[in-house]
Amino acid sequence: MRYEVPETVDAAVALLAAANGSARILAGGTDLLVQLRAGLVEPDVVVDIKKISQTRQVTAQDGGFRVGAAVTGAELDEHPDLKKNWPGVVEAAELIGSTQVQGRATMGGNLCNASPAADSVPALIAAAATCQIAGPDGERTVPVESICTGPGKTILGTGEFVVSLILPARPPHSGDAYLRFIPRTEMDIAVVGVGVSLTLDGAGQCIAARVGLGAVAATALLVTEAADALVGTAVDEGAVEKMQQAVRAACRPIDDKRGTIAYRTQVSGVLAGRACRIALERAGEH
């Protein structure tokens, strides 16, 4: 197994394309190293993208942010402006693993590992985040909810990798939140995860909403019916209840040791309601 550490996006794409499918991308390594050790993956080459400057920076862009795919959870936590604008996204990323894991784990990796239970993904979907993908045919931009196609599977073609995640500009009176359920208080994999993002007008009416749902289907979901239940309302109890029903209706969970189908479905609505109230409170503050 070879190790390559390109310093430009083009060099990384060339290495990935030349490996013809037998390359793995190394960002934080918190998933890849475990998979290597378990023999789940046996690449010919590991391409470390951390020396490519674009993958390691958080920069302001078009009123929002461009977050490099290899920026760690700990670094997100140390970016006050990002936290102020997208507290739900940063909280979701920070739920991944321990302090040690936070020192390495990245949102780019969390997304591209394509676990249905990835914590940052429902929050990114709620935030309407997009991915800047580089590849042999140039760059393309794809919404986060379109990246994963199933557990461990993404739309990324040979030679492609996610360079950055783009978080859009935040209008006034906006707020987001992410909540997950785990049986412990720390260090566990989501049984259900829900991200909610809201924008209100000056009178407190919801003018935009997005709801992302994790760990209850083969991929994280964008639940437009849930968002539709909130838009045009004052996010009152009746609207929240309709949103919760839409969230439960979107669930296609598996039965496993962490939760039954009925339990995951029930909890998804509960968490959606709570995340919505937190997002609403935050929207009122800005």
Partner 1 sequence: MARNHVTTTINGDPVEFLCDTEQTLLDVLRDELHLTGSKEGCASGDCGACSVTMDGRLVCACLVLAVETQGAEVETIEGMADGDRLHPLQQKFLDHAALQCGVCTPGFLVAAKSLLERNPDPTESEVRYWLAGNLCRCTGYDKIVRAVLDTAAEMRE
Per CB under 8 A, residues contacting partner 1 are 1-3, 5, 26, 28-30, 33-34, 36-37, 46, 48, 50, 72, 74, 97-101, 103-104, 186-187
Interatomic CA distance for residues 164 and 205, integer angstroms: 33
The answer to whether 214 and 190 are in contact (CB under 8 A) is yes
User: What DSSP state is assigned to residue 226?
Assistant: H
Nearer CB in complex with partner 1: 55/174:
55
User: Angle between the 237-250 and 261-285 helix axes, to the nearest 10 degrees?
Assistant: 140
Tokens standing for 247?
């969230």
Interatomic CA distance for residues 30 and 103, integer angstroms: 10
Q: Nearest CA to 249 among 218, 232, 219, 226?
A: 226
What minimum distance in Å lies between the beta carbon of 102 and partner 1?
8
User: Are β-strands 153-154 and 148-150 bridged in parallel, bridged antiparallel, or unpaired?
Assistant: antiparallel
What minimum distance in Å lies between the beta carbon of 286 and partner 1?
27
Nearer CB in complex with partner 1: 50/282:
50
What minimum distance in Å lies between the beta carbon of 185 and partner 1?
8
What minimum distance in Å lies between the beta carbon of 214 and partner 1?
21
